[in-house]
Copies of this chain bind each other. A is one copy, B any other.
Amino acid sequence: MLVPMGRWEPNARDRLAQAALTLFQEHGYDRTTVEEIAARAGLTERTFFRYFTDKKEVLFGGSDALHERIVTCIADAPQGTAPLDAVAAALESLAPFFKDRRDHARARQTLLAAHAELRERELIKLASLASAAAETLRGRGVTEPTASLAAEAGIAVFKVAFERWLEDPKAQDLSRHIQFGLDELRAVTASTGPRTPTEPSRPLARPARARKP
């Protein structure tokens, strides 16, 4: 090795995560055992479970960083920022995190699409982001249920925007997709309530688009 190091190879955690992703792609998620992952990283099954509570968790490495970033970003929003804007700005600030990892994110998404258990984990991570955002809003004086709704709505926009970003052939920035999603959400909520149908030929009234994605 080039760099002198301690008793063990460094970055055990990263090695495990890398080994796991590779093996999952090569042989599928369920046909990969934790023992195999550990072996490929030069470690033991027991050590794997010291780094990750779960076999699933190995796919959700960076989520703490996102969590932290969202919280500080909302906390630091300028005075007078509307709750949903604060959340949206926080979510947009995550774009750089993903910018260089679109391929990685795609590979991950493919796995998620095929395995409900992994989607479950993804959803609870997002829900945890939402509740952290809500709590930060509350710390700024936003009352319930406004705080929770702003947070949940923001996360809903993020979910949709993220999926479309992964599929976007034009590879536009994630933050643009978020902005567009927000505009769509505004249109969806604005066009609501008892109303006279203005386009009788259409099955359901459609809100106008606010911005091009």
Q: Which residues of A contact B (CB under 8 A)?
A: 77, 79-86, 88, 116, 119-121, 123-124, 127, 137, 140-143, 145-146, 148-150, 152-153, 155-157, 159-160, 164, 180-182, 184-197, 200, 202-207
Given A84-B189, A120-B124, A184-B149, verify A206-B140 contact (CB < 8 Å).
Answer: no
CB contact between A120 and one of B121, B152, B155, B195 (< 8 Å): that residue? B121
Tell me whether B188 and A146 are in contact (CB under 8 A): yes
Tell me whether A205 and B156 are in contact (CB under 8 A): no
Pairs of residues from A and B, 4 with the lowest C-beta to C-beta distance, nearest first: A80-B197, A152-B156, A120-B120, A123-B123
Give the number of copies in the complex. 2
Tell me whether B152 and A160 are in contact (CB under 8 A): yes
A107 to chain B, nearest CB (A): 21
Closest to A187 in B: B146
